[in-house]
Amino acid sequence: MMNEAQALDAFASLSQETRLRIVRLLVIAGPDGLSAGAIGQAMDGASSSRMSFHLSHLEHAGLVASRREGRSIIYSAAFAALADLAAFLMRDCCQGHPEVCVPAVAALSSRCRSGVGAKRAARA
Amino acid sequence: MMNEAQALDAFASLSQETRLRIVRLLVIAGPDGLSAGAIGQAMDGASSSRMSFHLSHLEHAGLVASRREGRSIIYSAAFAALADLAAFLMRDCCQGHPEVCVPAVAALSSRCRSGVGAKRAARA
DNA sequence: TCAATATTTCAACATCAATTGAATTATTGT
DNA sequence: ACAATAATTCAATTGATGTTGAAATATTGA
C-alpha cells in the first residue's frame, strides 16, 4: 500500500507535462508497452536525453517499468502503482460522509465498463 | 471533466509535502472544513504566510475551496475535483485490457465500504 | 571487429518553486 | 476609533527541476 513519500514522488512525476503524457500514452498502450524511441517520437520528437531523463524519473517513482528487448528498452505503465495512487488520494474520504466519497468511486467505475462483470478478473 | 492542464496543476499541488498533508487533512475533516489557522497548527505550526502560499496554490488548482466566516477563512476539500483527478489517471486504461484496470477500481471501491448500498447518495 | 542503432550519463545553464520576515488588508469587540 | 486577531501580499533569498548538447555504453548485423 502506498505511503506518503511514494505518493509525493508519484505526484511530482505526474506534474510534468511530458511525463504525464508518457504515462497516459503507456496506459493506453497497455501491458506490452513501447520502446523509449517510440515514446520519444510520440512526444513530438523529443531528444533522447530528455526522454531518458523523464523515463528514469517515472521509473524511479514506480509509475513505469522497463525491460530490455534487443537494442531497445521497452517501457510500460505500472498499473498497480497508478491504482494505488488513486486509492491514496481518496483514502479516509468516507469518515462519516459517504455522500461525498461515493460519487468519486462511481465516476471512476463508469470509466471502466468491463468492471460490471469482471469480478473474476479482479480476483486474479 | 478534467483536462490535461488542470491535471498538471493538481498534480503539481499534490507533489508538495505540506500541500499533500493539507489535502488529506481536509479530506478527513469532511465538507465542514477547517480554518487556515487550524490547518497551520496541524502542520506543526507553520507560519501564516507559508500556509497562505500553499492554500492559495491548492485553491488555484481547484483542489480546495474557501469561504470567509468571521475573521477566519475556512478551507475544505474539493471532493469532486479529487474524484475527477483519480478518474483522469485511469482514463482509457481498459482499451482491450480490462484485467489491468479492474483491480484498480476494486482497490478504490474497497476503501469506501459505504459504496455498496449508496446508489441513492451517488445520484444526488 | 567495425559501423550503425538505441539509449543513458554528465556538466552547464536557465527556470521555476518554497521559505522567510516585514508590511498590509479585513473583521470583530470594546 | 482603537487594539487585537486572522489571513494575505510582497520582495529577497535559497534550493530544486528541466533542457541542451556532447560523450559514453550496450546491442545487433555485416
Q: Which of B4, B12, B93 sits opposite A27 (nearest CB)?
A: B93
Q: C1' nearest to CA of B70: which nucleotide?
A: C27
- The rounded distance, in Å, linking the Cα atoms of A62 and A77 is 9
- Which amino acid would we find at residue A3? N
* Local confidence pLDDT in tens for the 124 residues of chain A: 899 999 999 999 999 999 999 999 999 999 999 999 999 999 999 999 999 999 999 999 999 999 999 999 999 999 889 988 988 887 777 666 666 666 666 665 655 444 333 333 333 3
Establish whether the CB of B109 is closer than 7 Å to any nucleic acid atom in strand D.
no
Establish whether the CB of B71 is closer than 7 Å to any nucleic acid atom in strand D.
yes
Question: What domains appear along chain B, each with residue ranges and CATH number?
Answer: 4-79 (1.10.10.10), 92-123 (no CATH)
- At B114, list the grid cell: 459505504
Looking at beta carbons, which residues of chain A come within 8 Å of B28?
Answer: 92-93, 95
pLDDT at B93 over 70: yes
- At A78, list the grid cell: 505500472
- The rounded distance, in Å, linking the Cα atoms of A43 and A48 is 11
Place of cell 510534468: A16
Tell me the whole-structure pTM to 2 decimals.
0.88
